[in-house]
């Protein structure tokens, strides 16, 4: 398990843009599971949408990408916390993205990603997002780890 403190040692994201609360399972170079608790306190709900709060699809996909970033860093042989501080993951593309079901305040948004391909610093992931076992979103994501 990777808690939010360790996630913040890996990813540069911070409030209000750190979109993963915990990693529950990591299989290096293979797959990862994590989640974000969606609360009405999210600033995004002030405008999306008043009286009918729906967590935006772009935020779901960004959270998925952040979980993928954790997997990429956890999969690098011999990486140290000091080396991680000098690297960052850049989001390169989103393909085959589909939104299936709305995500609302009170939901636990669970992410599952699997490595489709890894060549050097380039990673391709197939990701899904679920709430209580219902598929909410899916996408294929490409990212690259680069020096800051």
Structure token digits, residue 131: 């709430």
Q: Report the catalytic residues.
A: 48
The number of helix segments (H) and strand segments (E) in the chain equals 3, 6
Structural contact between residues 123 and 72, judged by C-beta atoms closer than 8 angstroms: yes
Greatest alpha-carbon span in the chain: 49
103 contacts 60 by C-beta, under 8 angstroms: yes
- Give the number of C-alpha atoms closer than 13 A to the C-alpha of residue 89, restricted to the C-beta side: 26
Question: 120 phi and psi, to 5 degrees?
Answer: 65, -125
d(CA 89, CA 144): 6
Q: Which residues contact 7 (CB under 8 A, 6 or more apart)?
A: 18, 20, 22, 23, 70
């Amino acid at each position: 398990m990777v808690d939010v403190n360790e996630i913040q040692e890996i990813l540069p994201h911070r409030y209000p843009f750190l979109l993963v609360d915990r990693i529950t399972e990591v299989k290096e170079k293979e797959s990862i599971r994590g989640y974000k608790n969606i609360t009405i306190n999210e600033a995004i709900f002030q405008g999306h949408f008043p009286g009918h709060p729906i967590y935006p699809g772009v935020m779901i996909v960004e959270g998925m990408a952040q979980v993928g970033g954790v997997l990429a860093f956890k999969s690098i042989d011999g990486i140290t916390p000091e080396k991680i501080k000098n690297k960052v993951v850049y989001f390169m593309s989103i393909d085959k993205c589909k939104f299936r079901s709305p995500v609302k305040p009170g939901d636990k948004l669970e992410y599952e990603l699997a490595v489709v391909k890894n060549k050097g610093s380039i990673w391709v992931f197939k990701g899904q997002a679920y709430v209580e076992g219902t598929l909410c979103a899916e996408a294929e994501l490409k990212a690259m780890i680069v020096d800051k």
